Amino acid sequence: ALRTRYGISPDSIVLYGQSIGTVPTVDLASRYECAAVVLHSPLTSGMRVAFPDTKKTYCFDAFPNIEKVSKIMSPVLIIHGTEDEVIDFSHGLALYERCPKAVEPLWVEGAGHNDIELYSQYLERLRRFISQELPSQRV
């Protein structure tokens, strides 16, 4: 809609998703061009959150980020707290390892699921990603 209705260039679009919001973010970014993607406390899949010992993606898993992230062709910044009590830190790490365009992630030592924004390195890392790590013609 941004591209067609408002004429906004994909080079001007940064997709940002947090927690369950990373599901539509990954889905869009895996199918459409954009300048960049930020995944904040992302999940690998719904089944893997509900059942942590799950190692594969099932056809009925409505949130298969782990299967789609490898299709993202834009730079991706992954941010995750090491003490996340909702979506284990291992989810962020697994997505980082499968993402072909991942930049240096931000692992926030001691941060949980809903407090990453309170750490000073959060805004510093976002600023650096947008202002220095994206190609100059973007954003």
State the catalytic residues.
19, 84, 113
Structure tokens at 119: 């750490």
Q: Which residue has the tokens 């941004």?
A: 2
DSSP string, 69-107: GGG--S-EEEEEETT-SSS-HHHHHHHHHH-TTB---EE
Q: Which residue has the tokens 């995750």?
A: 80
Structure tokens at 137: 């013609």
What is the β-pairing status of strands 36-40 and 106-108?
unpaired
Which of 12, 13, 35, 37 has its CA nearest to residue 24?
A: 37
Q: Which residue has the tokens 């830190």?
A: 89
